[in-house]
Amino acid sequence: MYCVHCGGAAGTGDHGPCSGARAALEPPRFCAECARRMVVQVTPTGWSALCSRHGALTSGPAAALTD
Ligand SMILES: [Zn+2]
Ligand SMILES: [Zn+2]
């Protein structure tokens, strides 16, 4: 598995900036399965991120967190 924010191996390195509350609100930029850079589109309700190999991810209900 890879870090979806920096594309590095999830088990190694410093992912502090990748795992904070702020990062949780940002769309993923790299595929967790292959670390390809994904095509990210921000939508009015959240985001969608497309891996050319693994297909699309979309923000789920968790992204509806507001105050
Ligand atoms: Zn990271
Ligand atoms: Zn992928």
Q: Domain limits of the chain?
A: 16-64
Tell me the CA–centroid distance for residue 60 and ligand 1, in Å: 21
Are 49 and 56 a contacting pair, CB within 8 Å?
A: yes
CA distance 16 to 41: 24
Helix (H) or strand (E) holding 57: strand 55-58
CA–centroid distance, 62 to ligand 1, in Å, is: 20
Q: What is the pLDDT of residues 8-62, one digit of tens each?
A: 999 999 999 999 998 988 999 999 999 999 999 998 888 999 999 999 999 865 5
| 17 φ, ψ (degrees, to nearest 5) | -70, -15
How many CA atoms within 13 Å lie on the side-chain side of 2? 16
* C-alpha 9 to ligand 2 mean position (Å): 14
Cα–ligand 2 centroid distance for 66 (angstroms)? 29
DSSP conformation class of 24: H
